[in-house]
Amino acid sequence: MPRLPSVYARRMQLLSSRIFGEIDPNKAAKAAPVLEQFSKQLYYKDKQFVNWYPPIHDTTQLTVQLRNLGLYVDEHLDFTEYMENQRELRGKGKKNRKNRN
C-alpha cells in the first residue's frame, strides 16, 4: 500500500518544481491548455504563415501556356488583342505609333 507523502516531501517537491521550471503537480491539469498554446510555433517563425503569398509568376506562366494550347480562355486578353488588331487595321496600331520621348 503506497504511503502518502509527508507535508515536508510535498513542499520539497513544490520547491523543486519551482526551481527547475516545472509545473506544480496540483495545477498541471488546469495549466495544460495554456502550455499547449505556448508550445506551438510562433506565427512569425512559421514559414507557411509568413510566406502566404501565392506563386503569381508561376500561375501566370501556366495560364499563358494553357491559353496557347487552347485549354484556357482569357476573355480580357482576347478583347485587348482584338482591339489592338482593329487599331492596326485602321493604321493606328503599335507599329504606326509615333515615339513621344
Position of cell 503537480?
25
Q: How far apart are alpha carbons 60 and 67 in whole angstroms?
A: 10
Selected residue with higher pLDDT from 44 and 58: 58
Q: Which residue has the cell 488583342?
A: 81
pLDDT above 90: residue 42: no
pLDDT per residue over 45-99, tens digit each?
A: 888 888 878 889 999 999 999 999 999 999 999 999 999 999 999 988 777 666 6
What is the rounded CA–CA span in Å between residue 30 and residue 33? 7
Q: Is residue 63 within 8 Å of residue 72, measured between CB atoms?
A: yes
Output the CA angle 88-94-95, nearest 5 degrees.
80
pTM: 0.43
Confidence check: pLDDT of 21 > 90: no
